[in-house]
Structure 1
Amino acid sequence: MTQQSTSLLVGLLAGISAALLLVSAGSPSSLSFILFAAAALPILIAGLGWSNLASIVAVASAMAVIGFVTTPQAALVSAVTTLAPAAWIAHLSNLARPAEEVGGPDGAVIWYPLSEIVVRIALCVCIGLVAVGLAMGYGTDFVSELVDIFVSSLKESNAGYQPTPDGIAEMKQFFLYALPAIQAAMWVLILLAGWYIASAIVRLSGRSKRPKDDIPSQLRMPRTGALALGAGVVMSFVGGGIGLIGWTICGAFGASFIVAGFAIAHHRTRGKPARGLVLWAAYLSTIIFTVPLAFFLFLGLFDTARTLTGTGSGPQSKP
């Protein structure tokens, strides 16, 4: 079997797997979120371990299956939010260039920077969520209906819950801007975790082109990410659709800087006697109180860089 035919077969199987995960996630169950989050894995594995052709075929076949089983609109939403970003991330991860082009030693290879991969993940999330929001007509009416359904379900489960009209109005205003930010942050984390897991799986299989990134020492967001976050903050003070886009940008790039902040904490505690205790306390306090997220956000903001991963051999394609 030729390399091209292998890529076609792998892409077809990966696409069917991704489609089944997404369709299964549509049915209400306790595993829905896990299935939805894992849908990017087959696309990432196909692209990282085989070729761009495999990931493209995977995206196309997944869209075909989802469109046939559900609706074409669902297939398009899946492609914009999950399938296409996964294929793009896999493509970027396999890009490399000769090290001498950036002042490195002869014969070495520099891989696409991890920091830029994280920026592209955040950018893909922003574009995908904004496109879906425009298609769905996300706005005051949409959130109002959503909150009304949420409040009704709470009343059914708890008869003593009787919110005031002012309380419901405040809840609708909060969710209007909080949902884009929360969804963007969650989706950045999901795609980044998917990339990390898929990279580990491909390395274990021996098909990895890219060497393992030392995330604690290499994950530093570039200054372009800080500029994007600043633009999002400014836009968030504007009303209407621009404000909603701003909150989406804040959520996506804010989550990226928080992850970079945790990477810095891992790096700076290396070799310290109480490293395990400090890191566990950091993660536990974040989960319980969420306030420490601000500390890691600023830690990531105040340490920006563009780090490179280099090896002695590899493909000579340019990004």
Structure 2
Amino acid sequence: MTQQSTSLLVGLLAGVSAALLLVSAGSPSSLSFILFAAAALPVLIAGLGWSNLASIVAVGCAMLIIGFATTPQAALVSAVTTLTPAAWIAHLSNLGRPAEEIGGPQGGVAWYPLSDIFINIAGCVCVGLVAVGLAMGYGPDFVEQLVDVFVDTLKHNNADYELSAGSLAEMKQFFLYALPTIQAAMWVLILLAGWYVASAIVRMSGRSKRPKDDLPSQLRMPRLGVFALAAGVAMSFVQGGVGLIGWTLIGAFGIGFIASGFAIAHHRTRGKPARGLLLWTAYLATVIFTVPLAFFLFLGLFDTARTLTVTGSGPNPKP
């Protein structure tokens, strides 16, 4: 079997797997979120371990299956939020150039920077969510209906639950801006985790072209991310769709800098006797109080970099 035929077959299998995961996630169950989050894995594995052709075929196959099984709209939403970003990330991960071109060792290969892959993940999430929001007509009316359903569900489970008109209005205003922010942040983390797991699977299979990246020392947002986050903050003060896009940017790039902050904490505590205690305390405090997120956000903001992985010489930070 030729390489092209193998890529086609792998792409078809990956597309079927991704489609089954996404269709199954549409059925209400306790596993829905896990299935939806795992849907990018088959496309990532096909692209990382085989070729761009395999990931492209996987995206097309999955869209066709989802379109027939559900609706064409669902297929498009899956494509812009999950399938296409996964194929793009896999493509970037396999890009490399001769290391000597950038002052590296003779005969080595410098791979596409992890920091640039990270900012591409954030950018893909923003584009996908904005496109879906525009298609769905996301806005005050949409959120009002959503909150009304949410409140009715609470009242159904607790007959004594009551909300004043002012509290209900505040809840709707909060959800209007919180939903795009939280969804963008979660989806960036999901795609990053999917890339990490898929890379590990492909390495174990022996098909990985790219060596293992050292996340603590390399997971950073480049300086361009600072401008994207600043633009989001500025846009958030504008009413309407511009403000909602701003909050989406804040969620996607803000969580990028927070993740960078945690990576910095992991890197700087290496070799320290109390490393485990410090890291567990940091994670626990973040989960309980959420306030430490601001610390890690600023830690990530003040340590922006573009780092390279060079085959044969390990992590090689470059400005």
- Alignment partner, residue 172 of structure 1: 172
- Alignment partner, residue 60 of structure 1: 60
Q: Secondary structure at the match of 1:307?
A: strand
> 1:206 & 1:103 partners in 2: Cα distance?
28
- Alignment partner, residue 201 of structure 2: 201
Query: Gaps (5+ residues) in structure 2?
Result: 314-319
TM-superposed CA distance for 1:108, in Å, is 1.2
Taking structure 1 as the reference length, the TM-score comes to 0.97
> 1:213 & 1:312 partners in 2: Cα distance?
12
- Alignment partner, residue 246 of structure 2: 246
Q: Secondary structure at the match of 1:57?
A: helix
The residue type equivalent to 1:58 in the other structure is A
> 1:48 & 1:288 partners in 2: Cα distance?
37
The residue type equivalent to 2:191 in the other structure is L
The residue type equivalent to 1:189 in the other structure is L
Q: Secondary structure at the match of 1:308?
A: strand
TM-superposed CA distance for 1:173, in Å, is 0.3
TM-superposed CA distance for 1:31, in Å, is 0.2
- Alignment partner, residue 285 of structure 1: 285
Q: 1:139-184 deviations in whole A, cap 9, x for unaligned?
A: 0000000000000000010111100000000000000001000000
RMSD of the alignment, in Å? 0.8
Taking structure 2 as the reference length, the TM-score comes to 0.97
> 1:83 & 1:251 partners in 2: Cα distance?
21
- Alignment partner, residue 20 of structure 1: 20
> 1:219 & 1:21 partners in 2: Cα distance?
29
- Alignment partner, residue 100 of structure 2: 100
Q: 1:233-287 deviations in whole A, cap 9, x for unaligned?
A: 1111111100000000000001111110000000000000000011111111111
TM-superposed CA distance for 1:291, in Å, is 1.2
The residue type equivalent to 2:226 in the other structure is A
Alignment of 1:241-280 (within 5 A): 241-280=241-280
Q: 1:81-118 deviations in whole A, cap 9, x for unaligned?
A: 00000000000000001112212222111000000000
- Alignment partner, residue 85 of structure 2: 85
The residue type equivalent to 2:286 in the other structure is T
TM-superposed CA distance for 1:122, in Å, is 0.2
Alignment of 1:1-319 (within 5 A): 1-312=1-312
> 2:28 & 2:105 partners in 1: Cα distance?
54
Structure 1 vs Structure 2: percent identity of aligned residues?
82
The residue type equivalent to 2:35 in the other structure is L
Q: Which deviates the most, 53-62 or 277-286?
A: 277-286
Q: Which deviates the most, 137-146 or 94-103?
A: 94-103
> 1:253 & 1:214 partners in 2: Cα distance?
21
The residue type equivalent to 1:2 in the other structure is T
> 1:27 & 1:311 partners in 2: Cα distance?
44
Q: 1:121-150 deviations in whole A, cap 9, x for unaligned?
A: 000000000000000000000000000000
> 1:309 & 1:287 partners in 2: Cα distance?
32
> 2:223 & 2:103 partners in 1: Cα distance?
21
- Alignment partner, residue 316 of structure 2: none
> 1:37 & 1:312 partners in 2: Cα distance?
33
- Alignment partner, residue 317 of structure 1: none
